[in-house]
């Protein structure tokens, strides 16, 4: 789902939080120390998004492919998630954050599935920032599970029906997609939803990402002209008529 932009701030920011392992290696620390520092960076980023009035933050915490890491790193990441769910929820609750875990939960332990569901339901009526934590998530998994849902429902397999069946159907598409850690790839993140996201890649490693790094990404975003398939002249004409910027949704509807 896409939403017309009401101002020049991104409404939905998505982040591939990459570079934890290299942050740790630079300090001769085990990789898990980098992941712990990554949780602290996420806490800081949530606060920065709240301060800036950003509506939705979606972060990539564990990909479908990350199961292929060494078993001790995988179990360390599972433990970190389990602990973070317990330790972070009260503060998220106070800040009015609505928490969602996005991804295939069936491969997670029963205890973990229960903890994620409990954390979600305790924040469901919050109306502040929507925080989507993508865990055991892959863009291909998401499209496949959406297609299965649509097929089972008997609806026609249209773009709209698929869009509504995706795991992020509760939020508009991301406006700005940031990847830290210097790699120039998507790594199976929001393959469908990032169709018209502005991309921003930074060499900064995720544990070092701070408020200034977020402001820098927002400033770059604000310099971009989002055209959604239209010509620059059409954009200028719409702006002088005082219309909001187009969105892919409004153009689809035209």
Shortest Å, Cβ 26 to ligand IPE = 9
Q: What are the helix (H) ranges across 67-226?
A: 71-94, 110-123, 139-153, 159-165, 211-223
| Residue 137 interacting entry, from ligand IPE, Mg ion, none, C-beta within 5 to 8 Å by type | none
- Residue 17 touching ligand IPE (CB under 6 A): yes
- Residue 97 touching ligand IPE (CB under 6 A): no
The residue within the footprint of Mg ion, chosen from 18, 88, 163, 175 (CB under 5 A), is 18
The residue within the footprint of ligand IPE, chosen from 14, 20, 45, 146 (CB under 6 A), is 20
**Known active-site residue 142:** no
| CB-CB contact of 30 with 21 (8 Å) | no
Q: Which of 7, 8, 51, 66 is catalytic?
A: 66
Q: Which pair of structure tokens corresponds to residue 41?
A: 């960076």
235 CB burial (10 A radius; 0-12, 13-18, 19+): middle
- Pick the closer one to ligand IPE by CB: 3 or 74: 74
| Strand partners for 99 | 131
> Cβ atoms within 10 A of the Cβ of 168, count?
25
- Residue 202 touching Mg ion (CB under 5 A): no
**Known active-site residue 18:** yes
The residue within the footprint of ligand IPE, chosen from 11, 12, 13, 19 (CB under 6 A), is 19
| CB-CB contact of 104 with 64 (8 Å) | yes
| CB-CB contact of 134 with 59 (8 Å) | yes
Stretch of 10-18, 45-53, 228-236, 241-249 lying at the interface with ligand IPE (CB under 6 A): 10-18
Alpha carbon dihedral 220, 222, 223, 227, in 10-degree steps, equals 120
List binders of ligand IPE among 45-64 (CB under 6 A): 60-63
Which residues does the annotation mark as catalytic? 18, 66
State the residues that interact with ligand IPE by CB under 6 A.
Answer: 16-22, 60-63, 66, 77, 181, 183, 185, 187
- Contact positions toward Mg ion, by CB under 5 A? 18
């Amino acid at each position: 789902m896409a939403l017309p932009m009401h101002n020049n701030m991104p409404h939905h920011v998505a982040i591939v939080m990459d570079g934890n392992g290299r942050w740790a290696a630079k300090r001769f620390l085990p990789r898990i120390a980098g992941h712990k520092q990554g949780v602290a960076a996420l806490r800081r980023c949530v606060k920065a998004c709240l301060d800036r009035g950003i509506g939705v933050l979606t972060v990539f915490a564990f990909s479908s492919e990350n199961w292929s890491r060494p078993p001790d790193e995988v179990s360390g990441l599972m433990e970190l998630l389990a602990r973070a769910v317990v330790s972070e929820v009260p503060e998220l609750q106070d800040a009015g954050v609505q928490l969602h875990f996005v991804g295939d939960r069936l491969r997670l332990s029963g205890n973990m599935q229960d903890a994620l569901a409990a954390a979600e339901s305790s924040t469901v009526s919050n109306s502040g920032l929507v925080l989507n934590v993508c865990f055991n998530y892959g863009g291909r998994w998401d499209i496949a599970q959406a297609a299965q849902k649509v097929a089972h429902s008997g609806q026609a397999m249209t773009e709209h029906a698929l869009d509504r069946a995706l795991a992020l159907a509760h939020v508009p598409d991301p406006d700005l997609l940031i990847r830290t850690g210097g790699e120039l790839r998507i790594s199976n993140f929001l393959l469908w939803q990032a169709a018209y996201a502005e991309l921003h890649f930074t060499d900064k490693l995720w544990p070092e990402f701070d408020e200034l790094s977020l402001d820098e990404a927002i400033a770059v975003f604000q310099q971009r002209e989002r055209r959604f398939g239209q010509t620059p002249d059409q954009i200028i004409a719409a702006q002088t008529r005082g219309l909001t910027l187009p969105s892919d949704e409004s153009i689809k509807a035209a």
